[in-house]
Amino acid sequence: MALTSWYSRKLFFAFLGIIFALLIGAVLIFVVPPIGAIFLVLGILALIPYIFVCIYNSIRLSVADAVYLSSEDGVLSSVRKTWGLTQGKALEIFLVSLLLGICLVVVSFAISIPEMLVRTILTLLTGSALVAIAFSSLYRAALNPILSAMASFVAPSIYLELTNPAPAAIQGQPQVSSTPMAGQPPAQN
């Protein structure tokens, strides 16, 4: 799937059509209001599914950077590989990303509570917000790289799950071991 594929061209032409309808509607709303309103409504109604298609595509391609970095392939073959890996898994990827995003927000909020308390105490003690703002800036400068590092592990984690499915025992199937247990002779073939 190259960037100039028919699918990409269809999306591009759909985008141009939507923009054209919105521009025509914006101009006509001042000249012939009912026709301008119709064009605007049609443009907005066409924009809604277009946005959902773009979101779906971005979810499916969200692990493309991890695929590219883990393989010796080029950019386009990595995008093709990503598209194949994520087929039928867009909802799972979205939900995992959403869950991890919520966890990051909760962790970020929990980390910011002490900073807010110290900032308030410093403001009350010094009577100036300048010291509190300086402390807050230093605190956030120290913690933002940690939170960014946590967020940067989302796509590689999803990629690892896509390429290495859960072991059989976790999926509810009994796991068969090829190594003999202690005290038993090896199996004869």
Question: In the prediction, which pLDDT does 11 show?
Answer: 83
pLDDT score at 2: 46
Backbone angles phi, psi at 85, to 5 degrees: -65, -35
**Could you read off the pLDDT of 39-92 as tens digits, one per residue?**
999 999 999 998 998 888 888 888 888 888 888 888 888 888 888 888 888 898
pTM of this structure: 0.63
**Percent of the chain at pLDDT above 90?**
16
What average pLDDT does range 134-146 have in this prediction? Answer: 86
pLDDT band at 178 (very low <50, low <70, confident <90, very high): low
The DSSP 8-state label assigned to residue 127 in this structure reads S
Query: Which of residues 186 and 90 earns the better pLDDT score?
Result: 90
Contact 62, 83 (CB under 8 A): no
Helices and strands in the chain, H and E counts = 7, 0
| pLDDT value, residue 1 | 43
The Cα 46–Cα 55 span in angstroms is: 15
Share of the chain above pLDDT 70, in %: 83
Question: Is residue 26 predicted with pLDDT exceeding 90?
Answer: yes
SS3 98: helix
Residue 33 pLDDT exceeds 60: yes
For residue 188, give the amino acid letter: Q
More confident residue, 182 or 41: 41
